[in-house]
Amino acid sequence: MPGGSAFDLSYAKYKACVDEYMLKNLPSFERRGQKQLGEAMRYSVASGGKRLRGVLALATYSLFGGDISEALPLAGSIEYIHAYSLIHDDMPCIDDDDFRRGAPSCHKAYGEAIALLAGDALLNLAFEVLLENAAAAAPDRMGGYIKAAAFIAEASGARGMAGGQAIDLAGGISGESGLRGLYRLKTGRLFDAAILAPAIYIGAGGLEYEALQKYAASVGEAFQIKDDLMDVGESGAEPNIAKALGVAGARQRLDGLRAGAEDSLSVFSGRADFLRGAAGFAAERES
């Protein structure tokens, strides 16, 4: 991104690292069936996306002076989990979306059965990557790495993202409080994983860890509210805080979350400038 801002250039660097890591760790097969599964996995991973969660993971690790190559398994695994969730979200049994990022959804390109398996395989690949790299952690850091991996598992499972999806499917969510609780699980917990798992791995604690907890919660909710604002003109009964509060109310809430995210990083002074920029990116992006 020649000529871009310092934030843009750093974002591009982090994103390129995550993209490269994800693609090189995808399996490939020759046997019929498995080959199609591998192609469907690659189709979904290579379809683009902001890689914001992976970028946040690397930036958080870098905040504490860590070599980002050490955090790539965490960043890549979180993005594999995100990719699996999008495959499953698009399927007829959940959101029934035929397109993702302007291209046919995985189940439209490969059929529902292979898409279901591709999502399953990406979720498993996330933990293959995490476990394979546990042994590479320095002995005095292995405990932190295992705790970080466990945090990612919880954040993406029944007590996190998957649980939030189940609540959403059950319906009946309305009003600001109910929607914010839903967003906390369905969207927010994977942002928790992106920001807090690297902090756990590198041994952050005290006021710095508390600051990142507040930051992660604010950025996760801001990301979802921005989605709601972009979707407010669409028909359908899917819960949407911009419909519940009105566009002006949702915008006010979003602005407050962005400011709160930025303020929570004051303990880091100038070291957290990229994360401050990422809060703005989550709140102001156009897609």
CB contact set of 277 (below 8 Å; sequence gap of 6+) = 7, 11
Query: CA neighbours within 13 Å on the CB side: how many for 173?
Result: 23
Residue 251's pLDDT is 96
Indicate if the pLDDT at residue 136 is higher than 90. Answer: no
**Scanning the structure block, which residue is given the tokens 């959940």?**
94
Distance (Å, rounded) from C-alpha 127 to C-alpha 125?
5
Average pLDDT over residues 180-204: 97
pLDDT, tens digit, for every residue of 154-179?
Answer: 999 999 999 999 999 999 898 899 99
pLDDT, tens digit, for every residue of 208-233?
Answer: 999 999 999 999 999 999 999 998 77
Distance (Å, rounded) from C-alpha 91 to C-alpha 118?
12
For residue 106, which of 37, 203, 20 has the smallest C-alpha distance? 37
Average pLDDT over residues 71-96: 97
Residue 1's pLDDT is 45
Residue 106's pLDDT is 98
pLDDT, tens digit, for every residue of 240-260?
Answer: 899 889 999 999 999 999 999
| Contact call for residues 149 and 186 (beta carbons, < 8 A) | no
pLDDT, tens digit, for every residue of 262-274?
Answer: 999 999 999 999 9
Residue 127's pLDDT is 97
Indicate if the pLDDT at residue 69 is higher than 90. Answer: yes
Q: What percent of the chain has pLDDT over 90?
A: 87
Would you place residue 34 in the very low, low, confident or very high pLDDT band (cuts 50, 70, 90)? very high
Element (H, E) at 37: helix 34-45
| Contact call for residues 129 and 73 (beta carbons, < 8 A) | yes
Average pLDDT over residues 194-211: 97
Residue 109's pLDDT is 98
Distance (Å, rounded) from C-alpha 283 to C-alpha 277?
10
CATH architecture of 6-284: Orthogonal Bundle (1.10)
